[in-house]
């Protein structure tokens, strides 16, 4: 590595900024971040390669404390009206924070910047929101209203892509870098998802084209998307309120899984796993989000780098209908093979503490958790989450 004065000269010449994070106990984290314009002209930060083994892009979770590792594997939820909770969670090292509710506070951009500044290491949390359009759109009052997926399903993919791109630019400006969308489920008349207009179409080809357009439009503006709800929620009942069953695996493979398989093959970075039951995929009443068998199947099709995120584990299909708490469901999901467990009850830090204990006693294998954290770190590096300056 060149001496520091020379490094500063090289950095200035190349338009680099050297940023140092506030290290955790026993850690030293240094990052070099490149600032370049993306296709929209917006500045995008991407970590440059360095020889520092504890840099943002190259940090090895195997060297982390159990506390830090456990927190990174939890994706919390906060109400838009309680962003002080988000600051506490960021300070604790939570891996991601989902914004819930539909009444954003004033000065949301500044409030979310304060959340990011609360992080104590160079690895910042993703701030995410459900921006599907229609009835599921958290930021509609601060950005603008989007049409439903059902409406956009009648558009050409190019228009869907432009719509996603324009909206994502505004999300990014606010500091929301992840969209918990698009919905890749098929529309099944009379079923829960279709009743809310959340599916693009009942045709797998039409769904794939518009899901891809949404992902690419968001990507071009610097917002990462989450493909949901694997293995396909289209025919299921409402998993918020109880168990939700879909067709047997053999049937899913012929229809519902097609948009997911095609998008994963094309590079979709994150997939959300639903709390769904399917004969041949899940057994003993355990939903896909908590099923080692289902998550192993998904890992084979998703590949080694895709991040597997659960749907909210506070939903009845993943917790109360099984007689367990969302905290317990968090541990079970990670043990089964999820990378990120979405803990949307009132106590996400309790979930992180439970994961910490599960790592300490071997309930969750350390090597498995390290692999999940590496995927998450790689995702954050790819999507331009810079260290705190």
Query: pLDDT for 320-378, tens place per residue?
Result: 999 999 999 999 999 999 999 999 877 889 999 999 999 999 999 999 999 999 999 99
User: Do the beta carbons of residue 338 and residue 37 sit within 8 Å?
Assistant: no
User: Do the beta carbons of residue 94 and residue 74 sit within 8 Å?
Assistant: yes
User: Which pLDDT does position 12 carry in this prediction?
Assistant: 36
321's tokens = 């209908």
User: Do the beta carbons of residue 311 and residue 274 sit within 8 Å?
Assistant: yes
Query: Active-site residue among 38, 79, 240, 347?
Result: 240
User: Which pLDDT does position 352 carry in this prediction?
Assistant: 97
185 is catalytic: no
36's tokens = 């370049």
- Kindly give the parts of the chain with pLDDT less than 50: 1-58, 386-389
Q: Is 102 left (phi over 0), alpha (psi -120 to 50) or beta?
A: alpha
Query: How far is 250 from 135, CA to CA, in rounded Å?
Result: 32
User: Which pLDDT does position 156 carry in this prediction?
Assistant: 98
Query: How far is 112 from 83, CA to CA, in rounded Å?
Result: 8
CB neighbours of 131 closer than 8 A, spacing ≥ 6? 137, 138, 139, 146, 167, 171, 176, 179, 180, 181
What residues does each domain of the chain span? 1-59, 64-372
User: Which pLDDT does position 264 carry in this prediction?
Assistant: 98
Query: How far is 47 from 60, CA to CA, in rounded Å?
Result: 15
311 is catalytic: yes
Query: Active-site residue among 311, 339, 345, 347?
Result: 311
User: Which pLDDT does position 67 carry in this prediction?
Assistant: 96
Query: How far is 115 from 124, CA to CA, in rounded Å?
Result: 9
Q: Which residue has the tokens 């192993």?
A: 296
Pick the CATH number of 64-372 from 3.30.365.10, 3.40.50.300, 3.20.20.300, 3.40.47.10: 3.20.20.300
């Amino acid at each position: 590595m060149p001496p520091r004065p020379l490094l500063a000269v090289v950095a200035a010449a190349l338009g680099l900024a050297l940023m140092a994070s506030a290290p955790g106990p026993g850690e030293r984290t240094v990052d070099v971040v490149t600032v370049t314009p993306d296709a929209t002209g917006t500045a995008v930060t991407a970590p440059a390669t360095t020889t520092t083994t504890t840099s943002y892009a190259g940090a090895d979770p195997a060297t982390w404390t159990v506390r830090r590792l456990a927190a990174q594997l939890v994706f919390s939820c906060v109400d838009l009206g309680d962003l002080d909770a988000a600051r506490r969670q960021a300070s604790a090292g939570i891996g991601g924070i989902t914004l819930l509710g539909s009444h954003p506070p004033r000065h949301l951009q500044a409030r979310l910047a304060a959340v990011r500044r609360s992080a104590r290491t160079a690895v910042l949390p993703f701030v995410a929101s459900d921006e599907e359009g229609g009835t599921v759109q958290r930021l509609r009052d601060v950005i603008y209203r989007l049409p439903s997926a059902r409406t956009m399903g009648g558009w050409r993919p190019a228009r869907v892509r432009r719509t996603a791109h324009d909206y994502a630019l505004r999300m990014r400006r606010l500091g929301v870098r992840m969209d918990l969308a698009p919905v890749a489920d098929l529309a099944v008349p009379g079923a829960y998802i279709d009743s809310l207009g959340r599916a693009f179409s009942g045709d797998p080809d039409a769904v794939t084209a518009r899901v891809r357009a949404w992902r690419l439009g968001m990507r071009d503006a610097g917002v990462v998307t989450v493909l949901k709800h694997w293995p396909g929620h289209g025919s299921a009942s409402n998993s918020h309120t109880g168990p939700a069953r879909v067709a047997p695996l053999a049937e899913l493979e012929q229809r519902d899984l097609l948009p997911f398989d095609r998008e994963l093959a094309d590079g979709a970075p994150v997939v959300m796993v639903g709390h769904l039951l399917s004969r041949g995929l899940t057994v003993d009443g355990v939903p896909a989000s908590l099923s080692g068998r289902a998550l192993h199947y998904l890992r084979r099709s998703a590949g080694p780098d895709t991040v597997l995120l659960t749907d909210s584990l506070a939903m009845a299909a993943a917790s109360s209908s099984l007689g367990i708490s969302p905290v317990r469901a968090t541990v079970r999901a990670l043990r089964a093979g999820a990378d990120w467990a979405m803990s949307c009850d009132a106590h996400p830090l309790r979930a992180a503490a439970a994961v910490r204990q599960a790592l300490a006693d071997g309930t969750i294998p350390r090597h498995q958790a390290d692999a999940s954290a590496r995927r998450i770190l790689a995702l954050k590096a790819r999507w331009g989450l810079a260290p705190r300056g």
